[in-house]
């Protein structure tokens, strides 16, 4: 039975004060949220403790946006899985396209981060997806299969979420057609050994398109950037029909 996971990715937005304000608006909207879905907020490091403290006893789980593969060491600017679990973090995004594009993340480092996250008991959300150029060149499937082949080496598929995020749809307002997202996600699933891994779609998910996306049979959730920053819009997404 596949789980539904709706996760917000705040990227580098919100101070601690702003994140507390968000929770004041957002938490009351969860009263009638169906119990069939996990709700996660992946937030900047400085906001993690604010969320952890304020979400205690709520159904929202705290997520980070990256994790290093070593348990500790001379890795300035990085954070370990143990540092995250100590403050109640449960999920972590790994291999987001912004990390791959701007910070030199490779499939090998993604793989190391995934394994370290799992060893510490975190659930990683592995992000995969093709660029516009790769899609136009007919390379979508090859690119994603390669990301999965290297990224998932020795990764436990019993504690994993995958997000299909076509890069050209992230932060552009240009959503991938839901049937096409469904098709690619079906192909991703065909490469997995565990058919129950939840696979999300990410890329300009909004209140206006979430119902259509979530109606697709292969799509098990959403990874939401911009529309997770406002309590009303993220609430509408979490409470999709």
Min separation Cβ 162 and ligand PEP, Å: 13
Asked if 213 interacts with ligand PEP (CB under 6 A), we say no
Q: Which residues are within 8 A (CB) of 141 and not within 5 positions of it... i.e. 6 or more apart?
A: 184, 187
Query: Looking up tokens 């009638």, which residue turns up?
Result: 32
CB 112 within 8 A of CB 148: no
DSSP 194-214: -TT--EEEESS--TTTHHHHH
Min separation Cβ 163 and ligand PEP, Å: 7
Binding mask 166-205 for ligand PEP (x = CB under 6 A): ----xx------------------------------xxxx
Min separation Cβ 11 and ligand PEP, Å: 6
Q: Please name the residue ranges forming H helices in the chain.
A: 16-26, 45-55, 81-86, 97-102, 107-119, 132-136, 140-151, 178-190, 210-214, 231-238
Binding mask 11-40 for ligand PEP (x = CB under 6 A): x-----------------------------
Min separation Cβ 107 and ligand PEP, Å: 18
Residue closer to ligand PEP (CB basis): 198 or 225: 225
- Beta bridge mates, 162: 126, 199
- Beta bridge mates, 221: 5
CA–CA separation, 59 and 57 (whole Å): 7
DSSP 139-154: -HHHHHHHHHHHHTTT
Query: Looking up tokens 């690619």, which residue turns up?
Result: 184
Active site residue 56: no
Asked if 8 interacts with ligand PEP (CB under 6 A), we say no
Which of 126, 225, 233, 239 lies at the binding interface for ligand PEP (CB under 6 A)? 225
CB 103 within 8 A of CB 150: no
- Number of residues forming the site for ligand PEP (CB under 6 A): 14
Set 98, 105, 130, 165: catalytic member: 165
Binding mask 120-159 for ligand PEP (x = CB under 6 A): ----------------------------------------
DSSP state of 44: -
Which of 165, 167, 219, 234 lies at the binding interface for ligand PEP (CB under 6 A)? 165
Active site residue 96: yes
Min separation Cβ 204 and ligand PEP, Å: 4
Residues annotated as catalytic are 96, 165
Interface ranges with ligand PEP (CB under 6 A):
9, 11, 165, 170-171, 202-205, 223-227
């Amino acid at each position: 039975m596949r789980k539904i996971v709706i996760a917000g990715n705040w990227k580098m937005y919100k101070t601690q004060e702003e994140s507390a304000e968000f929770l004041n608006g957002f938490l009351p909207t969860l009263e009638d949220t169906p119990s069939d879905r996990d709700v996660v907020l992946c937030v900047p490091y400085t906001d993690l403790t604010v969320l952890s403290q304020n979400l205690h006893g709520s159904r929202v789980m705290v997520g980070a946006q990256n994790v290093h593969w070593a348990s500790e060491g001379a890795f300035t600017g990085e954070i370990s899985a143990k540092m995250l679990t100590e403050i109640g973090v449960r999920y972590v995004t790994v291999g987001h396209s912004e990390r791959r594009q701007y910070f030199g993340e490779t499939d090998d480092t993604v793989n190391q981060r995934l394994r370290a996250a799992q060893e510490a008991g975190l659930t990683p959300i592995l992000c995969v997806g093709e660029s516009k150029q790769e899609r136009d060149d007919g390379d979508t499937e090859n690119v994603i299969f390669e990301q999965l082949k290297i990224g998932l080496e020795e990764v436990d598929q019993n504690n994993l979420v995958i997000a299909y995020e076509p890069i050209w749809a992230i932060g552009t307002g240009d959503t991938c057609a839901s049937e096409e997202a469904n098709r690619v996600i079906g192909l991703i699933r065909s490469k997995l050994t565990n058919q129950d891994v939840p696979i999300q779609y990410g890329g300009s998910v909004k209140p206006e398109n979430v119902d259509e996306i979530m109606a697709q049979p292969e799509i098990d959730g959403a990874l939401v950037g911009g529309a997770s920053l406002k309590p009303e819009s993220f609430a509408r997404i979490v409470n999709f029909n």
